[in-house]
């Protein structure tokens, strides 16, 4: 198990409404899609994808509750503590790939574009509820010539969900793979749409996590521990999981509908 690493924040970036990136030195090898457990003393320890994997790593936080609001208030020079990296990340695939980012899911997906050496092999679809919540659009354009956006309210890009956008892009071009992260209902729809177009892919799940290393069982889905067997799964694996896209476990371990 990785020891707790104490880090000092070198840079903060407001990425969009309610989104902030914290950058720090973290000298460990990380795959796109892997995550760290971030310790918020006296409050909680929560999973966060690493959104930047270069020499200066980063996490990108969507402020939704107590822990993420505390992280979002940290400033340059403040310290933080993390364990990791954990989990099975995205594979480096050879073929034409469509990256699909739903909301904060862009944090897990964008590093894939950065490690690809050919901008013609990667197209990117980024979706959010509204224009202010779209993140990483400019960053994506550094790695792809075909970056498209969607918003639920039509305030930027295509009006509709990022799955509608991905479907449209799959009609226009032939892709070999999809790689995606976002809310599970979105991933479940995307998996179906991908199948209709004969495109298989990898999908990163967000489940409630406590230990992050396969011990507590909080994150289990149909016998698989998302923290160690995932968070990235192939579509074919997810199709055999009856809870995928239907139910999850809450903090008490109770199964609830998505
Ligand atoms: C592998 C993984 C990677 C993630 N990466 C990111 C990321 O890059 N950026 C980002 O903004 N968010 C990410 N999340 C989600 C993030 O962990 C939750 O938003 C955060 O834990 C919420 O904590 P809170 O106290 O602010 O909110 P709360 O009010 O406690 O909860 C808000 C929501 O977050 C969920 N949540 C709460 N605690 C956890 C937990 N321990 N594990 C999983 N979900 C939890 C709850 O189910 C609830 O729906 C990731 C989750 C997982 C599992
Ligand atoms: S979070 Fe404990 S087993 Fe996955």
Query: For the chain, percent helix, then strand, then coil, each to nearest 5?
Result: 25, 35, 40
Residues 223 and 164 in one domain: yes
The structure's pTM equals 0.96
Give the pLDDT score at 254. 85
- In ligand 2, which atom is closest to the CA atom of 209? 1
Residue where a domain terminates, one of 52, 86, 120: 86
pLDDT band at 1 (very low <50, low <70, confident <90, very high): low
Distance 248 CA to ligand 2 centre (A): 13
**Alpha carbon of 67 to ligand 2 centroid (Å):** 18
Record the tokens describing residue 206, joined without a space: 């967000």
Q: Residue 160: helix, strand or coil by DSSP?
A: coil
Average pLDDT over residues 60-73: 97
Torsion of CA 109, 114, 119, 120, to 10 degrees: -40
Q: Compute the distance from residue 254 Cα to the ligand 2 centre, in Å.
A: 15
Whether residue 125 is found in the same domain as residue 27 = no
Ligand 2 proximity of 216 Cβ (cutoff 6 Å)? yes
Ligand 2 contact, 210 CB (< 6 A)? yes
Same structural domain for residues 113 and 169? yes
Say how many Å lie between the CA of residue 121 and the centre of ligand 1: 31
Q: Based on the fold, state whether residues 67 and 158 are members of the same structural domain.
A: no
Q: What mean pLDDT, rounded, does the chain reach?
A: 96
Residues near ligand 1 (Cβ within 6 A): 35, 44, 46-49, 59-62, 64-68, 104, 107, 206-209, 231
Q: According to the model, what pLDDT value does residue 255 have?
A: 85
Distance of alpha carbon 237 from alpha carbon 118, whole angstroms: 28
pLDDT band for 126, please (50, 70, 90 cuts).
very high
At 252 the pLDDT is 86
Same domain, 107 and 234: yes
Check whether residue 75 and residue 114 sit in a common domain.
no
Who has greater pLDDT, 248 or 85? 85
Do 121 and 69 belong to one domain?
no
Note the pLDDT tens digit of each residue in 141-158: 999 999 999 999 999 999
- The band of 197, judged by pLDDT with boundaries at 50, 70 and 90, is very high
Domain limits for position 55:
5-86
Instruction: Tell whether the model's pLDDT for residue 171 goes beyond 90.
Output: yes
Q: Is the CB of 219 under 6 A from ligand 2?
A: yes
Model confidence at 43, pLDDT cuts 50, 70, 90, reads very high
Are 115 and 189 in a shared domain?
yes
Q: CATH code at 22?
A: 2.40.30.10
CB 9 within 8 A of CB 75: yes
Residues 32 and 135 placed together within one structural domain of the fold: no
Among 86, 118, 137, the domain-final residue is 86
> Residue 173 sits in a domain of what CATH number?
3.40.50.80
Give the residue, out of 62, 65, 205, 253, with the most ligand 1 atoms within 8 A of its beta carbon, to mutate for a pocket test.
65
Beta bridge partners of 62: 19
Peptide bond just before 249 cis, omega within 30 deg = no
Q: Which among 194, 33, 183, 205 is positioned nearest to 107, based on CA atoms?
A: 33
* 63 and 104 assigned to the same domain: no
Q: Sort residue 187 into left (φ over 0), alpha (ψ -120 to 50) or beta.
A: alpha
State the total domains in the chain.
Answer: 2
Residue 84 CA, ligand 1 centroid: distance in Å:
16
* 238 domain residue, yes or no: yes
Q: Tell me: do 72 and 108 sit in the same domain.
A: no
In a domain, 91, yes or no: no
118-139: average pLDDT:
95
Domain boundary among 60, 86, 112: 86
Query: Do residues 188 and 243 share a domain?
Result: yes
């Amino acid at each position: 198990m990785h020891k707790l690493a104490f880090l000092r924040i070198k840079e903060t970036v407001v990425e969009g409404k309610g989104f902030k990136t914290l950058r720090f030195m973290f000298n460990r090898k990380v795959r796109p899609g892997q995550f760290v457990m971030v310790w918020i003393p006296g409050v909680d320890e929560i999973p966060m994808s690493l959104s930047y994997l270069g020499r200066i790593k980063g996490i990108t936080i969507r402020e939704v509750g107590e822990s993420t609001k505390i992280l979002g208030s940290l400033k340059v020079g403040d310290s933080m503590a993390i364990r990791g990296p954990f989990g099975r990340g995205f594979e480096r695939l050879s073929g034409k790939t469509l990256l699909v980012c739903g909301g904060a899911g862009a944090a897990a997906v964008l590093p894939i574009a950065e490690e690809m050496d050919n901008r013609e092999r990667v197209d990117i679809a980024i979706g959010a509820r509204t224009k202010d919540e779209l993140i990483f659009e400019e960053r994506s354009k550094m790695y792809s010539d075909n970056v498209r956006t969607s918003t639920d309210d039509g305030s930027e890009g295509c009006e509709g969900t990022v799955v509608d956008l991905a479907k449209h892009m799959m009609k226009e071009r032939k892709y070999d793979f999809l790689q995606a992260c976002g809310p599970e209902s979105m991933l479940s729809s995307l998996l179906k749409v991908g199948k209709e177009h004969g495109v298989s892919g990898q999908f990163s799940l967000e489940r409630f996590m406590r230990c992050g290393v396969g011990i507590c069982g909080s994150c289990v889905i149909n016998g698989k521990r998302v923290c160690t067997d995932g968070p990235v799964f192939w579509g074919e694996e997810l199709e055999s999981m009856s809870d995928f896209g239907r139910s999850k476990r809450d903090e008490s371990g109770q199964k609830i509908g998505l």
